[in-house]
A and B are shown apart, each in its own frame.
Chain A
Amino acid sequence: MDRSEIVTIENLTAGYGNKTVIEDINLSIFNTDFLAVIGPNGGGKTTLVKVILGLITPSKGKISVFGKSPKEGRRQIGYVSQNTSFEESFPVNVLDVTLMGRSVRRGPLRRYDNADRSMAHDALDDVGMLEYKDTPIGELSGGQRQRVFIARALVSEPKLLLLDEPTSSVDIPLQQEFYELLKDLNDSIAIVLVTHDMGVVSRYVERIACLNRGLFVHGKEELTAETLEKLYECPVDILAHGVPHRVLKEHGD
């Protein structure tokens, strides 16, 4: 796969009302990326996700998503949200949820057709959840649900998979399996995941962006003891949260 830039963010500042949350950030996301955005809670991770998805208009700077504005370009993004917002008893099964990923492509006034259903089957197969297709979503474990939500994102045929805190509801022993799945998917699409949990991520990601109002990108090779110094370019208040400290220790030993 040739390396090309799919998301370009230049000197971008954004926030809510008068409150600036992320300031003057630059970021390039490539079609082959496996990028993790880390940072403390309140550091602007979710804001960055919303800017990429076109849900927040930046107050300054530029962003292009697949060469278009985020609102147009986001059709090529598969989004996996934090696993918090739905009700356990909601009467839909795994196949129904996966099909929701086709709803924008299909448009209103039309029902899902057999092509949609076969794509949903394929996506569930890719994430290893096909055998559960008739199971109500509320009966699955956190990790299984998250796989279904990935299938729902994949079924819209995205070129970038954007995940917001994907492992927050996944049991720790299953998290490794989850990242292995993302790594497999990364063979064909870009993966960007936002997280405050660095421990597991560091083994899989190729680049890391530290976000705490400002944003600093580090390559995987930098995350060794020798490049410790370079990481200290992250503002001190990030380090004060302790998250990168843990990363550095794991890479140092």
Chain B
Amino acid sequence: MVTELFEVLQYGFMQNALIAGTVASIICGLVGVFIVLKRITFISGGIAHTSFGGIGLGYLLSVNPIITAVFFSLVSAIGIGVISKRSHLHEDTVIGVIWAMGMSLGVIFIGMSPGYAPDLMSYLFGNILAVTSWDIQMMLLLAAIISITISAFFKEFVVISFDEEYARAMGIPTEALYLLLLCLVALTVVLLIKVVGIIMVIALLTIPAATASQYSKDIKKIIALSIAFGIFFVISGLWLSYLLDIASGATIVLIAGSTFLLSIGVSEKLRGAGLER
């Protein structure tokens, strides 16, 4: 089994998959921590699903759907952010509406485009083994933009996540920073599409960070730990899916989800032991 593993590493597609998985894990660690701390899991799920409209637009315009997804998801992130903050309705209601509209637009665009839609399943459910070197370059570009922005505004993102009211009172532009964070979520979504697919993106965005935050009270350590969890999920999922010949994206998500559920049990135990001492 181990020799088989080394053999398979010689294939270009497997090397691409490992690079893509590692890049995805690093970015998920950086952005996921803020999704968990700022409690924007649902809005991030909304942005992810809305980006399907962008995939559809790519088919309609005969351009690479990843390119149109970048723009579409940025616009929808800002749209969801502004409407949900400014309207008098509950935020989750607005998110739900836009979420469904984005997916519907995708369906209609794909229906309008000539011929049938190749690779559609890989956008919805991911296909990390089909990642091309163009995809890798695109992922590296997005990863660079995301990580530079996060490090530039790191302390501001921490302040607005911790205590938005205080931040606003101190003259920190909280709404602009919030929209910037949603844009980073949008770019991360696009980066993850080929790895786990639109429908399961939210799992990789939140599970590593949520798992890691049970074991540390230091944001930087949580980021490092969630990157490690992400790499573990992606690589073990990839390997297991290869061995069992099952869908890679779904396997990665199931491993991540099971680890998260197990770790809730473990950290409760640790907490209980701590209390007894």
Contact = CB atoms under 8 A, between A and B. Distances in A.
B158 interface: yes
Nearest to A54: B171
B163 to A, nearest CB: 5
Interface string B62-94: 000000000000000000000000000000000
B162 interface: yes
Interface centre among B154, B161, B170, B219 (most CB of A within 10 A): B170
B166 interface: yes
Given A103-B155, A103-B156, A136-B217, A156 B163 contact: no
> Which of A92, A97, A156 is the most central at the interface, judged by chain B CB atoms within 10 Å of its CB?
A92
Nearest to B220: A91
A53 interface: yes
Interface in A125-174: 136, 152, 156
A90 B36 CA distance: 10
B153 A104 contact: no
B169 A92 contact: no
Contacts of B168: 55
A245 interface: no
Nearest to A102: B155
Contacts of A136: 217
B237 to A, nearest CB: 27
B7 interface: no
Interface in B137-175: 152-156, 158-159, 161-166, 168-172
Nearest to A83: B163
B133 interface: no
B162 A97 contact: yes
A93 interface: yes
A99 B155 CA distance: 9
B99 to A, nearest CB: 25
B222 interface: yes
B219 A91 contact: yes
Interface stretch (A29-37, A73-81, A177-185): A73-81
Given A75-B171, A103-B172, A136-B217, A90 B166 contact: no
Given A103-B155, A111-B155, A91 B213 contact: yes
A246 interface: no
Nearest to A49: B169
B276 interface: no
A92 B219 contact: yes
Interface in B195-220: 213, 216-219
A112 interface: yes
Contacts of A156: 170
A136 to B, nearest CB: 4
Interface in B10-24: none
B224 interface: no
A160 to B, nearest CB: 13
Interface hub of B168, B169, B216 (most chain A Cβ within 10 A)? B169
Contacts of B172: 103-104
Nearest to B219: A91
A79 B171 CA distance: 11
A108 B169 contact: no
B130 interface: no
A90 B162 contact: yes
Contact of B171 (A104, A108, A152): A104
Contacts of B213: 89, 91
A89 B171 CA distance: 25
Contacts of A91: 37, 213, 216-219, 222
Given A90-B37, A92-B158, A103-B159, A85 B164 contact: yes
Given A75-B171, A79-B170, A93-B217, A100 B159 contact: yes
Contacts of B155: 99-100, 103, 106, 111-112
A97 B217 CA distance: 13
Contacts of B218: 91, 93
Contacts of A106: 155
Interface in B29-46: 37
Nearest to A71: B171
Contacts of A55: 168-169
A53 B171 CA distance: 8
Given A91-B219, A109-B152, A86 B171 contact: no
Nearest to A74: B171
21 contacts: A74-B171, A81-B165, A81-B166, A85-B163, A85-B164, A85-B165, A89-B213, A90-B161, A93-B217, A96-B219, A97-B162, A99-B155, A100-B162, A101-B170, A103-B156, A103-B170, A103-B172, A104-B171, A108-B152, A109-B152, A109-B153
Given A74-B171, A112-B155, 6 more contacts: A74-B170, A91-B213, A91-B222, A92-B162, A104-B170, A108-B156
